Structure 1
Amino acid sequence: MFYVKELSDLGFEYIPAGPDRNTRITRAQNARRLGSKLPPAYPNGWFAVVESSELRVGDVKPVEVLGLNLCVYRGDSGAPHVVDAYCPHLGAHLGGGSVSGDCVQCPFHKWSFDETGRCNRVPGQETAPRGVSIKTWETAEVDGAIWIWHDADGNPPKWTIDNAPELQQWGYRGRNEFVVSSHIQDIPENGADVAHLNAVHSPSLLTNLGERYPFLLNFVGQHTWSAQWTKGEDHTATMTLSHNYTFGKFSVFRIDALATQIGPAHVRLLIHTAFGPILISQSVTPLSPLEQKVIHRFFSPAYNAPLTAAFVRGESYMFERDVVIWNNKRFVSSPAYVKSDKTIRAFRSWYSQFYSEGSLSFRDALRRHREPLDW
């Protein structure tokens, strides 16, 4: 099961179809007020850049994330590598190059760079030029994706990531992908915003009649939620979640889940149902300061693979409700908190650890995105 929604697919239903619809959506996005005192656009942490299944041995792919142009390739050893995109010789993009062994070759003059980034061969030359290299990025292959460590101050990884233990026996069942127009912090903040669950996700996935006619809720059913978010003392936070699909006072489908936030952009959601467990691994990767790629990867035992395939679509529909809001909201740095929002305040305090002195301000990140010259 593979479910994809682009930025223009959600939240712009008020703009009618027509040959200029994309132009009008762009105009609406440009007119949107972003808010004030936005946090830096690119926190420090691990970020998914390519799906493992999309990078075979010998493949080379260009990637634009975190305000960076990168090249991802898989060498003959099977290990993935991520390097800066542009060749230091004359600036060709290595994403159009090729792989030889565990080296990437520039498409322009076939200069070769090994897994450490060092230039190790130039055709027609007896020796490679000394001191010529490209930047390499700390890389991990986890939960069906290739991740890089990004740190604005150039520090090495503050924590490591490994495959979820369930993946030793469970299989991959599909994924969904969304491009969302928001600050990256808005997306994981949803986990701490417990009040939004029943406000946004209560109406039935089966029909919208209950939302339009509330007196029908006992007949068409609704989702009811309870949750508790807790920050850890390190780079992790957790949320316990219970869900019931109810007709009046009768529950017909219950879900219990534990979500673990690992750094700024990685969540694992372990779900328990009457039909078996499901693991969802979420990544949030900034494509630009206000454009996030969100992917949910689904894993389960073989015996409940059909349920998991259906779960991909159901979870996608639920997530769309959040995307519609994110695509049109502004960032509020000082909300009018009520008592039920105390976990949002706690979340923001916890999440601030992923920004550092060297973090590029949101304003500067937006300016660089719109004016990409290297002055």
Structure 2
Amino acid sequence: MPAVDKDIRVIKAERPPERFARGWHCLGIADAYRDGKAHSFDAFGTRLAIFADSTGKLNVVDGYCPHMGADLGEGVIKGDTLACPFHGWQWGGDGKCKAIPYAGRVPPRARIKSWPTMEENKQLFVWHDAEGNQPQPEVAIPKIEECFTGEWSDWIWETVKIDTNCRELIDNVSDMAHFYYVHGARATYFKNTFEKHVARQEMRGKPRADLKVAGDNMDFGGSEVTIDELYSVATYYGPSYMIDYLSSIVNGMQVEAYLINCHVPIDQNSFTLHVGLMVKKLPFLDDEMNAQIAQMYAKGNRDGFFQDVAIWKSKTRIDNPLLCEADGPIYQLRRWYEQFYVDVADIEPDMVDRFEVEMDLTKSNEMWVADEAANKAAQQAAE
């Protein structure tokens, strides 16, 4: 057997944790579930059923009927109950069977799990906790006041299944360098702050001079789009829901947006990704142009996520990433993330204590500017 070179870095990767993260998880736009129909949603290694009762309250219960295993999401809403499509057993939002149409009595143990829910920012959330504890007020999803003013667009929402472990998505919070190589933006300022159940990334940047960015070829009031400056404050509230305030200088004007990036684990190797965007309306533009700007931003952010997805499809899981001095605090972020996968009694101080770092990007930007100039020169020579 050949000798092992101890200087060679060997990738280590354990299996993803069997349990799912404790916290609020977004199931999408709330009103989409108020269409008079029942809905199924695969999450946390099982299936959920979602339905609105006669008051419009949204209920989430276990998705399979314990009678004979039918999918309750294929059932029919009857008053305040969800009727199983197989034998008509009627389930309330509290998880109790309210009636069996062909039987005189309901078995006393006819009960399924009723999942804690909340609505915020016009979205529906479900609470998951492997210990069965109820959510505490301090971890509630914060309200985005702009959702309710009428001065911003409606949410432009997209949902897609991603076949990888959701930790890949979380790593982006601290992965400063990938914005240049994957998303075409050069970070000029980058700061991470982790504390309690909140992880924040603040970034300023500029589009790469040697690449076209989303929207470059879009008409903007008769002129081509030019994006000069980018600013982002992306904050995870718990393990799965991120609110990202975005500000860009587009053709000399400030355009503001909120991006929602959130996910729900389906199993250990796949998750449902929700991407939502709303844009502040520019008062001097008509509704059509404001809608066009919102769609431009939505498309750009969607395309950006799928740039990440393309990487995830072929990369391997790595628990011991080899980092350099200009990388962000990946290990500290992952330590913060661990708090959601252990019992509350086992949360350690270094998972939740305040951690803050502002990166020095002077050298990185010198090298990137030189790289952009060389790439542009090569492009011009080839034309």
Q: Deviation digits for residues 255-294 of structure 1, max 9, x if unmatched?
A: 2121111111110011123333111111112222211221
- Give 3-state SS (helix, strand or coil) of 2:114's partner: coil
CA gap 1:119/1:290 in 2 versus in 1, 3 angstroms = same
1:354 aligns with 2:333: no
* Paired position in structure 1 for 2:235: 260
1:90 and 1:265 map into 2 onto residues whose CA distance is 33
Q: Distance in 1 between matches of 2:166 and 2:159?
A: 15
Query: Would you say 1:230 and 2:192 are equivalent positions?
Result: yes
Cα distance in 1 for residues equivalent to 2:121 and 2:155: 12
Whether the 8 Å CA contact 2:19–2:341 is kept in 1: the answer is no
Partner of 1:298: 277
Higher Rg of the two aligned structures: 2
- The answer (yes or no) to whether the contact 1:118–1:133 under 8 Å persists in 2 is yes
Q: Count residues with an aligned counterpart.
A: 304
RMSD over aligned CA atoms reads: 2.4
Q: 1:333 deviation in Å?
A: 0.8
Q: CA deviation at 1:107?
A: 1.8
Question: For structure 1, which runs of at least 5 residues remain unmatched after alignment?
Answer: 1-32, 203-222, 359-375
- Residue 315 of structure 1: SS of its match in structure 2? helix
Shift of residue 37, structure 1, vs aligned partner: 4.8
Q: How far apart in 1 are the matches of 2:90 and 2:301?
A: 44
Q: What CA distance in whole angstroms lies between the structure 2 residues aligned with 1:76 and 1:108?
A: 22
User: In structure 2, what is the equivalent of residue 5 of structure 1?
Assistant: none
- Please name the residue that 1:83 is paired with: 61
> What does residue 147 of structure 2 align with?
167
For 1:93, the aligned partner's letter is D
Q: Which residue of 2 aligns with 1:367?
A: none
Deviation string, structure 1 residues 123-148 (Cα, Å, up to 9, x no partner):
24444332321111011223343221
In 2, are the aligned partners of 1:57 and 1:78 still within 8 Å (CA)?
no
Q: Secondary structure at the match of 2:274?
A: strand
Maintained 8 Å contact 1:269/1:279: yes
C-alpha change, 1:316 and 1:121, in structure 2 (3 Å) is same
Q: How does 1:21-40 map to 2 (within 5 A)?
A: 35-40=13-18
Contact 1:191/1:229, CA 8 A, preserved across alignment: no
Distance in structure 2 (CA, Å) of the matches to 1:91 and 1:181: 26
2: CA distance between counterparts of 1:144 and 1:355? 28
Instruction: For 1:41 and 1:181, locate their aligned partners in 2 and report how far apart those are by CA, in whole Å.
Output: 17
- Structure 2, unmatched stretches of 5+, are 1-10, 211-225, 283-289, 345-383
1:111-170 CA distance string (max 9 Å, x none): 212221111222244443323211110112233432211111111114222542221123
Distance 2:166 2:80 in 1: 33
d(CA) in 1 for partners of 2:143, 2:277 = 13
In structure 1, distance between residues paired with 2:115 and 2:206: 43
Residues in 1 aligned to 2:188 and 2:78: alpha-carbon distance in whole angstroms: 53
Whether the 8 Å contact between 1:47 and 1:147 is mirrored in structure 2 is yes
Provide closer, same or farther for how the CA distance between residues 153 and 241 of structure 1 changes in structure 2, counting only shifts above 3 A: same
Q: 1:247 to 1:92 in 2, by over 3 A?
A: closer
Output the CA distance in 1 between the equivalents of 2:124 and 2:155: 18
The residue identity in structure 2 corresponding to 1:263 is G
Note the 1:146-295 alignment, pairs <5 A.
146-158=124-136, 159-169=139-149, 170-202=152-184, 223-245=185-207, 247=209, 253-273=228-248, 274-295=253-274
Percent identical? 26
Are the aligned partners of 1:97 and 1:106 in contact in 2 as well (CA < 8 Å)? yes
Higher normalized contact order (CA 8 Å, seq sep 6+, divided by chain length) = 1
